[in-house]
Amino acid sequence: MSEGTMKVVNTVKLLAGITDNEQDDVILALEEMTRNQLSMMVDETSVPPPLEAVVLPVTLARFNRLGNEGMQSYSQEGESITYPASDFNEYADVIERYNTERKRGRIVFFNEDKAGA
């Protein structure tokens, strides 16, 4: 397990008040899902360093929502919770800025000889 992964697991456990290792596999699965989805969003094979800070809060949000996946809102005994459409909504600006900066300065050449073929 990487140092970054252990940091995510330990921080989620700390913030959720977990003192044992019984939920480690669940947290690891959520972190892996978060990393995979974020990587796909930026068309990379892994989460780039500038976006590492997004992994922990999204993993924590997903952990806190366990049992309510797919719901847009939840109400019980006067308590009401509304969930965003995507766990990444809060970080959309950061992700978009990364995508824009990554593409800045890229030169694309087109081969005109093959265009008419």
Identify how many contiguous H helices and E strands the chain contains and give both numbers.
5, 2
30-82 pLDDT tens trace: 999 999 999 999 999 999 999 999 999 999 998 988 866 665 666 677 776 66
pTM higher than the cut 0.85 = no
Helix axis angle for 52-64 and 24-41, nearest 10°, is: 130
pLDDT the model gives residue 72? 64
